[in-house]
Amino acid sequence: MTNWETHAEELKEFFAYGYELAVGNGKIKVCESIECSECDFSREKTTCFSARWNWLNAEAAPTLTADERKLCELLKTGYIAQDDDDNIYHYNTMPRRVGGLGMWDVKGNDVIYTILEGAFGVSFEGICDLKTKAWAVEDLLALEVRG
């Protein structure tokens, strides 16, 4: 998902008040409220307008909810992936994507997997590539918690 899609509600309200967009340390800010040197857009070699546009259309940084973080802390290891039917699984070993079938597969008889969202109510919506990449739980724990 793009930053525009990820932050749509906040941005709609933000723009309704006529504010100029700035981003400082990854957080949405009012342009006039921070110094240019503190704005993430100042690092780009372009105009503020172009930098804003680029940021809005860029892929959002992956994030977790507090509940997703707690679940990953409990799991500690393994891999999390999502099939084309939006089922989210935890695997004890690295799964591989089965082309054309929209699902994940693992080799070996000692594979253990669990369907997560039915049992735990998690969706991992902040991870846009969960259908194409199996995420290591350790990598998920390194992500920022949103909201």
Per-residue pLDDT of the chain (147 residues; tens, 9 = 90+): 788 988 888 899 888 999 999 998 778 899 999 999 999 898 888 898 999 999 999 988 888 989 999 999 999 999 999 988 888 999 999 998 887 777 888 877 777 888 887 778 888 888 888 888 999 999 999 998 976
Residues 90 and 122 in one domain: yes
Residues 85 and 17 in one domain: no
Of 32, 57, 82, at which residue does a domain stop? Answer: 57
Of 40, 57, 74, at which residue does a domain stop? Answer: 57
Report field, pTM of the whole predicted structure over 0.75: no
| Domain total of the chain | 2
Residues 52 and 10 in one domain: yes
Residues 40 and 23 in one domain: yes
pLDDT of residue 147: 65
Range of the structural domain that residue 121 is part of: 63-145
Of 42, 57, 72, at which residue does a domain stop? Answer: 57
For residues 145 and 63, the answer to whether their CB atoms sit within 8 Å is: yes
Residues 114 and 140 in one domain: yes
Residues 50 and 72 in one domain: no
